[in-house]
Chain A
Amino acid sequence: SQQGEEDPQALSIQEGENATMNCSYKTSINNLQWYRQNSGRGLVHLILIRSNEREKHSGRLRVTLDTSKKSSSLLITASRAADTASYFCATDRSGNTGKLIFGQGTTLQVKP
């Protein structure tokens, strides 16, 4: 079964609005990471949240982690057109050697 499943698969909002993306996973994890991929480009690391953390902030990004529900959310506040990209969550499972398990991703479109 696939770990790190995001929803929604696609999200379209207006500039200035907030965007929330969710991620669910199935097994215990060491940490969960969020990445962004702009069209045709590489993955950019956004934020890492460890299994013993519940919330983390970085600029306009807010990530929460609920290990009891095996879920995480990424909130982008005051979105900008430049935030248009695909967003992926990836989990580093407990006992693993650090390999990441990715979900399908959420495609975010921010309209100017």
Chain B
Amino acid sequence: EAGVTQFPSHSVIEKGQTVTLRCDPISGHDNLYWYRRVMGKEIKFLLHFVKESKQDESGMPNNRFLAERTGGTYSTLKVQPAELEDSGVYFCASSRLGQGRGYNEQFFGPGTRLTVL
């Protein structure tokens, strides 16, 4: 079974430019999450999709970030325009819909390292 994949692995852009990150979850996983780790800080939740619907986007920092999951398969996270403080590693994770509380093992992708100059 293929794991969660993310593209690109690295991206270096200039302030003000646009970047789109992609995540392909494990096949059959309806839950998809985005997290990020800004240098020196903890990994923070950004948002959660269940299939194509946004379940929770409470962690999105501002309206420069737009996430989509058309068709309930892969997801994209677009940052427009990028700012210096957006630099960090963006992780995607997926999991099956739980059968009850406590059934939510999340599998993470390798992350996309974003550098905004």
Residues of A within 8 A of B (CB): 2, 4, 30-31, 33, 35, 41-45, 48, 50-52, 88, 90, 92, 94, 96-105
Contact = CB atoms under 8 A, between A and B. Distances in A.
Contacts, number: 68
B45 A100 contact: yes
Which residue of A4, A45, A97 has the most chain B CB atoms within 10 A of its CB atom? Answer: A97
15 contacts: A2-B42, A30-B101, A30-B102, A33-B106, A45-B105, A45-B107, A50-B102, A51-B102, A98-B98, A99-B45, A100-B45, A100-B93, A100-B106, A102-B35, A103-B42
Contacts of A35: 108
B14 interface: no
A97 B45 CA distance: 12
B45 A101 contact: yes
A43 B102 contact: no
Nearest to A95: B101
Contacts of B45: 99-101
Contacts of B106: 33, 45, 98, 100
B3 to A, nearest CB: 9
B90 to A, nearest CB: 11
